[in-house]
Amino acid sequence: MLLSLLQLPVTRPLLLLALCSSSSIAAASSILLSGGTVIAFDQSTQGLQVLRNNSVLIVDDQINAIFDSSSSNVTIPTGTEVVDVAGKIISPGFVDTHRHGWQTAFKTIASNTSLSEYFARYGEFASQDLFTADDIYWGQLAGHLENLNAGVTSILDHAHGSWSDATAQAGLNGSIDSGARVFHAYTVHPLTNNYTIDDQLAKLKSIAQEGLYKNTSVSLGLAYDFFCCATPDEVNSVIAAAT
């Protein structure tokens, strides 16, 4: 269950808060979001439904009921944490299908950059000798916390800060520590710093075997952009690693 709260103050821009970023809320076995405006999906019309003055009951991380706040027909479990969401909108969390968390360090400095300039200045190959493992970790962590604060609760991260064992591990650790639902696509790419494809695949195998991401909100994946121009042996080795 990943929801977002949108606060609607009169004099400020919209503020989105992801529920899963709140440790106190996440720890509760049942939560009642009381008295907000709920954006729901209507199966009969296949469209959105706006439910005002409604509440959402969450039990064991599953949405148990959505109901009018004046209703007394829903049984609230003993010990339920009640969160007053009056004046807020409750919506499903947003999904970001393309993110490079480590590039958070570049935020705001490349808004007028063309795609070719981006690759030359800020891309994975231009940056491979400039970022430490700590840089990757903090960028990854900050970027995903920023996502949560904006109501983005599911992220596909093309994690191409994998220029060494250390930076590859740091990126994964940042994803795990963020608490976001991240599909962490470990990137395999032809680098020029002597971190070979074989080295990268060996690290991916090590990460999978170690399993630090298991029992977290992170899933491990693989990203690879060179089917067009790599050797058949390289492509086959990547496919074998993915399977």
Average pLDDT, the chain: 88
- 195 closest CA partner among 157, 167, 223: 167
- Tell me which H or E stretch contains 140: helix 133-149
Distances (CA, A) of 228 to 192, 231, 232, 234, 235: 19, 9, 10, 11, 9
Mean pLDDT of 94-109: 93
Percent of residues in the chain assigned helix, strand, coil, to nearest 5: 30, 30, 35
When pLDDT is cut at 50, 70 and 90, the band that residue 13 belongs to is very low
pLDDT digits (tens, 9 = 90+) for 119-158: 999 999 999 999 999 999 999 999 999 999 999 999 999 9
Q: Please state, in angstroms and rounded to a whole number, the distance separating the CA atoms of residues 96 and 93.
A: 10
pLDDT digits (tens, 9 = 90+) for 178-204: 999 999 999 999 999 999 999 999 999
Six token digits for residue 226? 């060179």
Q: What is the pLDDT of residue 6?
A: 54
Q: Please state, in angstroms and rounded to a whole number, the distance separating the CA atoms of residues 65 and 47.
A: 19
Phi-psi label, residue 151: left if phi above 0, alpha if psi -120 to 50, beta otherwise: left
DSSP-derived letter for residue 183 is: E
Residue by residue, DSSP assigns 81-122 as EEEE-TTEEEEEPEEEEEE-GGGGGGTTS-TT--HHHHHHHT
pLDDT digits (tens, 9 = 90+) for 20-63: 434 444 445 899 999 999 998 888 999 999 999 999 999 998 89
Bridge partners (DSSP) listed for residue 38: 51, 90
Q: What is the pLDDT of residue 1?
A: 55
Q: Which domains are present in the chain?
A: 3-92 (2.30.40), 95-242 (3.20.20.140)
- 33 closest CA partner among 73, 8, 4: 4
Q: What is the pLDDT of residue 24?
A: 41
When pLDDT is cut at 50, 70 and 90, the band that residue 224 belongs to is very high
Six token digits for residue 22? 């709140």
Put simply, whether the predicted model's pTM sits higher than 0.95 gets the answer no
β-strands 152-159, 94-99: how paired? parallel
Six token digits for residue 14? 């919209």
